Structure 1
Amino acid sequence: MTKREVDEVTGVETTGHEWDGIRELDNPMPRWWLWTWYATIAWALAYAIAYPAWPLISSSTSGMLEWSSRGAFWQENASVEAGRQSIIDAIKAKDVNEIAGDETLRQYAIAGGAAAFKVNCVQCHGSGAQGAPGFPNLNDDDWLWGGTLDDILLTIQHGVRFEEDDDTRMSQMPAYADVLEPQEIRDVAAYVVSLNGTPRDASHVPAGEQVFADNCAVCHGEDAKGIRDFGAPNLTDAIWFYGSGEDAIMRQVEHPQHGVMPAWGERLGDATVKQLAVYVHSLGGGE
Structure 2
Amino acid sequence: MSVKKRDPLTGHETTGHEWDGITELNTRVPRAIWWAVGISHVWALIYWVLMPAWPLVTTYTKGLLGYDDQARVESQVVAANSERAAWTRALATLPAEEIRSDSVLMAHVERTAPALYGDNCAGCHGRDAAGGPGFPSLVDDAWLWGGDADTIMETLRVGINAPHLESRWAQMLAFGETGILTRPQIRTVVDYVQSLSGLETEAAAERLAEGETIFAENCASCHDENAQGIQELGAPDLTDDFWIYGGDDASMFTTINLGRQGWMPAWDERLTLADRMALTLYIQNLGAEKTE
Question: Map of 1:1-287 to 2, 5 A cutoff?
Answer: 2-5=2-5, 13-18=13-18, 20=21, 22=23, 24=25, 26=27, 28-44=28-44, 50=51, 64-65=62-63, 75-166=75-166, 168-177=167-176, 178-195=179-196, 196-202=198-204, 203-285=206-288
Q: Is the 1:165–1:263 Cα contact (8 Å) retained in structure 2?
A: no
Mark the CA change 1:184 to 1:71 in structure 2 (over 3 Å): closer, same or farther: farther
Distance in 2 between residues matched to 1:135 and 1:70, nearest whole Å: 44
Mark the CA change 1:4 to 1:242 in structure 2 (over 3 Å): closer, same or farther: same
Mark the CA change 1:159 to 1:67 in structure 2 (over 3 Å): closer, same or farther: farther
Amino acid at match of 1:154: E
Per the normalisation by structure 2, the TM-score is: 0.83
Deviations along 1:114-147, one digit per CA (max 9) or x if unpaired, are: 1111111111111111111111111112111111
Per the normalisation by structure 1, the TM-score is: 0.84
Distance in 1 between residues matched to 2:271 and 2:4, nearest whole Å: 80
Q: CA deviation at 1:17?
A: 4.2
Q: CA deviation at 1:273?
A: 0.8
Distance in 1 between residues matched to 2:160 and 2:75, nearest whole Å: 39
Mark the CA change 1:129 to 1:63 in structure 2 (over 3 Å): closer, same or farther: farther
Distance in 2 between residues matched to 1:133 and 1:241, nearest whole Å: 6
Q: Is the 2:14–2:23 Cα contact (8 Å) retained in structure 1?
A: no
Gaps of 5+ in 2: none
Mark the CA change 1:23 to 1:123 in structure 2 (over 3 Å): closer, same or farther: closer
Q: Is the 1:147–1:285 Cα contact (8 Å) retained in structure 2?
A: no
| Paired-residue identity, % | 35
Q: Please, what is the CA RMSD of the aligned residues?
A: 3.2
Q: Partner of 2:115: helix, strand, or coil?
A: helix
